[in-house]
Amino acid sequence: MIDPADLAECRRAIEHGSRSFYAASKLLPRKIADPAMALYAFCRLADDAVDLSDAKAAAVLSLRDRLDLAYAGTPRDAAADRAFTAMIHDFDMPREYPEALLEGLAWDATERRYATLSELRDYSARVASAVGAMMCVLMRVREADALSRACDLGVAMQLTNIARDVGEDAREGRLYLPLDMMAELGVDPDAFLADPKPTPEIREITRRLLKEATRLYERSEAGISRLPLSARPGIYGARFIYAGIGRRVAKMDHDSITGRARTSGREKTALLAKSLLRTASSIVMPQSAILHARPLPEVAFLVEAGASRGGVASEGWGEGRAGAVVGILAQLEQRDRAAGRQAFSP
């Protein structure tokens, strides 16, 4: 069980660091909301540790060590780590999921760029769909169809985040826009980063990302009906709030460089009310055939990890997909050592 003091600290971190999830979590039953707070607090800590650090490689390697300690049952002496470890134990959380998140953060640390929308979905699968799959586990739902739709929702949310943060990312030297779209529209990536402006071409790419997000939001709804009834309002709430951010970007003529799209408290309240109505209608509406749509190829490994393993945590970093995580972490270790040698060289 999660220690109440640790849980309270996790809740404070989420309240200030992830307001959209915090708002939606108010509609979750406590038996799901509490471990979800532990999950999101650790994920928020991980994201901030890499995003806000000048030594990104070292930050990812530190997170790897913290994850190792959590799965060993000996967490670091920090509220988020202790709560995350308790959550792992209580729900038999497959290790593949936080490993996937770690891999996505490692891609951030290496300043990876994405050639196609498919590659961007690969990234979104790791930093967002993995969290959606973990939320399914917290609800004791591990069927493949439900996991597939949860992963759709994760990718949609991440594409919305990317569309909203084009300017903020560019000013920090980060680029998530698909390179093939930029080439098609005649946009030089490095020139854009040097002087980010909301040109018609950049707005068009933003529009395309939001169009894909909208498609996946619609697909994701079929899976919400497979969740426990008491959990559906919170998940609908998250879906509507994030889609609302995308609509706000669209109303800004897809210019997310000169401004940042936000939903007000009043708008969030209205969207949460909408989620209650949608939950009520989901009880009587026939099941959509979209539920059984094949998972996106980019998220299939997440679906398999949850559905086929039945919740058994992996034994370690191993081979296969986990081996890919080992490989990129090894690259980061080499980079980190090289940076250390350079820093101390005369």
Q: Transcribe 235-284 into DSSP letters.
A: HHHHHHHHHHHHHHHHHTTT--SSS-----HHHHHHHHHHHHHHHHHHHH
Closest Cα partner for 38 from 86, 83, 70? 83
Q: Is the pLDDT of residue 324 over 80?
A: no
Q: What is the mean pLDDT of the chain?
A: 89
Most confidently modeled of 53-57, 62-66, 215-219? 215-219
Q: What is the pLDDT of residue 316?
A: 38
Q: What is the pLDDT of residue 207?
A: 98
pLDDT in tens, 16-36: 777 777 777 888 899 999 999
DSSP 127: I
pLDDT in tens, 278-313: 999 888 788 889 999 999 999 999 999 998 654 433
DSSP 95-122: THHHHHHHHHHHHHHTT---SSHHHHHH
pTM: 0.87
Q: Is the pLDDT of residue 229 over 80?
A: yes
Q: Is the pLDDT of residue 96 over 70?
A: yes
CA atoms within 13 A on the CB side of 222: 21
Q: Is the pLDDT of residue 255 over 90?
A: yes
Higher pLDDT, 90 or 268: 90
Q: What is the pLDDT of residue 56?
A: 80
pLDDT in tens, 330-344: 777 777 676 665 544
Q: What is the pLDDT of residue 313?
A: 36
Q: What is the pLDDT of residue 308?
A: 66
Q: Is the pLDDT of residue 315 over 50?
A: no
Determine the structural domain holding residue 194 and report its residue range. Answer: 4-344
Q: Is the pLDDT of residue 274 over 80?
A: yes
pLDDT in tens, 185-208: 999 999 999 999 999 999 999 999
CA distance 113 to 99: 20
For residue 184, the domain's CATH number is 1.10.600.10
Q: What is the pLDDT of residue 46?
A: 86
Q: What is the pLDDT of residue 325?
A: 66
Q: Is the pLDDT of residue 213 over 90?
A: yes
Higher pLDDT, 185 or 234: 185
DSSP 324: H
Q: Is the dihedral of CA 85, 299, 260, 274 positive or negative?
A: negative
Tokens of 119: 């590659």
Q: What is the pLDDT of residue 312?
A: 37
Instruction: Give the total number of structural domains in the chain.
Output: 1
Q: What is the pLDDT of residue 60?
A: 87
